[in-house]
Chains A and B, each alone.
Chain A
Amino acid sequence: MRELTYIAAISEAISHEMERDPDVLVLGEDVGGDFGGAFKVTKGLAARFGDRRVLNTPLAEQSFIGMANGMALMGLRPIVEVQFADFISTGFDSIVQSAATIHYRFGGKVPWVIRAPSDGGIRSGPFHSQNPEAWFVHTPGLKVVAPSNPADAKGLLCSAVRDPNPVIYFEAKPLYRSLRGPVPDGEHLVPIGEAKVVRPGTDLTVVAYGSQVSQALAAATDLAADRIEAEVVDLRSLKPLDFETVAKSVSRTSRALVVHSANRLAGVGAEVSARISEECFEWLDAPVTRLGGLDVPVPFSPPLEDAYRPDAHKIAAAARRLAAY
């Protein structure tokens, strides 16, 4: 199978969906024209599909996301780019108060996707490195996905565009051009709400998503040299969460390590950890362990940022402690 970078898989998913459905359009800051967005994800789309379907917006996250709510209520399927996931807070009301509640309150459908380039490790400081997924997982009515590899990046985005609900798609920008992988040509859907065991193992379960899946796989290779076989579960969807796949894995390994780049405190891992403790208690041979960002803004300078975020070394060290418990 041909290989694509993670970012090329995202671009391919967008053009695939725009080709398939005339109701799909793209909007956001700098997405249009020849420029094609801060990361060039939408480059070439305006030339191919016309300015009507690739709409540049002014700096106004609250209102262009609100505008997407109105478009979606009328049956369009906007793919909204917030230039960095960090800026999604500027549009918070339009997402959590409006889009997320509309179907519950009066039955309207809001089938948009917000693409949120997230995550750090690329020396971008407090406002271009964040992982704000927990805010949205905490909000009833939204769906949240976070692909870890090029094939899932395409398959989850295509599924998100076709989903009748508001879906926030956290793409991991450290993977944009650093990760290549096989991506099916043409139609390729990854169902929202399905986790995947990406490496089988017997000694412990590492639950991760987004960029930390690569780190977990690298750690697992390292651990295998010490004859510790880690099973890696890629959540892929954070809401709805496929806890069944997590529970099945933990019931086999009896040890669980939950990892994400976002702040550990009240992060998605806290929910996963709590559910393992509540629902897999009888199988556990050790307390559930969590790794996540520190309770500080994402710092800029390399030694500080490295101290802030999990990586393969920290995952391997935590896994060794857990395996030895």
Chain B
Amino acid sequence: MSDPLGSQIREALFAAPARPDEPEPQPESGEAPADLPDDLRIDLYRWMRLTRTLDNTMVDMWKQGRGLGGTFSGRGHEGISVPMAMALGPDDVIAPMHRDVGSYLVRGMTPARVFGNLLGRVTGPSEGRDANLHGMGDLSLGIIGYVSHIPQQIPITLGMAMSFRYRGEPRVALTACGDGGTTTGPYHESLNMAALYSAPMVLVVQNNQYAYSTPLDQQMATFAITERAAAYGLTARTEDGNDVEAMFRSIKAAVDRARSGGGPTVIEARTMRMLGHAIHDGAEYVPRELLERWEARDPVDHQRRRLLSEGVSGEAGLAEIDAWARAEINAAVAEAEAAPFPDPGTVSDRIYA
């Protein structure tokens, strides 16, 4: 499979000194995504816009004191979380991470349920039992809830993939972790086992340059996330995580490969966490000019410009999508804020199945 963008990124990666002061954003690919149908390209934008609108609204609410506890912005990750879910089939399963609201929405979780979870209401998928963007599992939608102990979702996804292999089902399991997840023991254990068992799974490493406040060059001596995965015997690629169409193509190819028995894939999606680790965190430790450079490559704006410049959609069509997203999220917030809290009498319910 041709991999021009991956090669470019790898060249840039290895041309750099072993410990650069900061990771460089990758160049725009410039290649024409001729293989994606127009309605899919617009859908990618639609889900990214809905995700971004939810994120912006959530951040505003928490700053206004309308939130509950902490929460996590996924700003800058929309070009990854949306295609992660869109590249899957209806019977596939996904274990998203805490910056993947887009995956939940695409998979069919309504914004009102997401806000219900954020606000501790009984209408959230965890029914008030888990916090913010954790524990938002819904097996009827093929979604596994997130655990804070990074990267628990990887061995779980390996196990789901192994269950498909065990039963001979043509299904695929997909998950994600950040750059921070790649330094843990279970990451390496699970990659080794995924390759060993040829498990039908896809792992997207969302390399957003920081694990909380710790930059990449304080986490690892070499940035060869892709090469380390390949060394276990997995298919591994590096992609521009801010190019939603490149991400969709790459993930879809990996999902198709897994489904047809070709084994697991790791995709390193290079992106930038545009806000702090969590809502309380001003991320003063991130150089402003780094954020400015990535802001210029914002994945939602990038897709919008591309649809316009390539004549896939007109301004009016995209403005309609933007207005739809605004209305959807406004209605969702109203619904969630009006929803009841759980009954304290149920606190011990559902401890056992």
Contacts and interface: CB of A to CB of B under 8 A. Distances in A.
Contact of B350 (A25, A62, A73, A107): A107
A71 B162 contact: yes
Given A107-B137, A165-B352, A70 B156 contact: yes
Q: Quick one: which of B93, B134, B162 has the most chain A CB within 10 A?
A: B162
Nearest to A76: B163
B129 A104 contact: yes
A48 to B, nearest CB: 17
B155 interface: yes
Interface stretch (A52-60, A130-138, A198-206, A314-322): A52-60
B149 A93 contact: yes
Contact of A104 (B189, B193, B351): B351
Nearest to A66: B155
A172 B190 CA distance: 30
Contact of B157 (A70, A93, A107, A108): A70
A91 to B, nearest CB: 10
A70 B159 contact: yes
A98 B152 contact: yes
Interface string B132-160: 00111111000011011100101111111
A73 B149 contact: no
Contact of B137 (A58, A66, A105): A105
A106 B137 contact: yes
A97 B152 contact: yes
Given A66-B186, A66-B190, A105 B160 contact: no
A65 B189 CA distance: 11
A165 B351 CA distance: 9
A89 B241 CA distance: 36
A11 interface: no
Given A94-B152, A106-B126, A107-B137, A69 B159 contact: yes
Contacts of A76: 163, 166
A63 B162 contact: no
A170 B147 CA distance: 26
A69 B190 CA distance: 13
A101 interface: yes
Given A58-B189, A75-B163, A106 B135 contact: yes
B108 to A, nearest CB: 15
A94 B166 contact: no
Given A66-B155, A69-B155, A98-B147, A57 B193 contact: yes
Given A71-B166, A73-B144, A103-B351, A62 B156 contact: no
Q: Quick one: which of A63, A75, A111, A164 has the most chain B CB within 10 A?
A: A63
Nearest to A67: B159
B163 A71 contact: yes
Contacts of B189: 58, 60, 62-64
Interface string B177-195: 0000000011001101100
Contacts of B312: none
A73 B136 contact: no
B68 interface: no
Contacts of B274: none
A140 interface: yes
A105 B130 contact: yes
B96 interface: no
Given A67-B159, A104-B351, A106-B129, 8 more contacts: A62-B186, A62-B189, A63-B155, A64-B193, A67-B162, A70-B163, A141-B352, A165-B352
Interface of A: 25, 52, 57-58, 60, 62-76, 93-94, 97-98, 101-109, 111, 140-141, 143, 164-165
- Closest CB pairs A-B (n = 4): A70-B159, A66-B155, A106-B137, A105-B135
Interface of B: 93, 125-126, 129-130, 134-139, 144-145, 147-149, 152, 154-164, 166, 173, 185-186, 189-190, 192-193, 196, 350-353
14 contacts: A58-B189, A58-B192, A62-B155, A62-B189, A64-B155, A66-B152, A66-B155, A69-B156, A70-B156, A71-B159, A71-B160, A74-B93, A98-B156, A103-B351
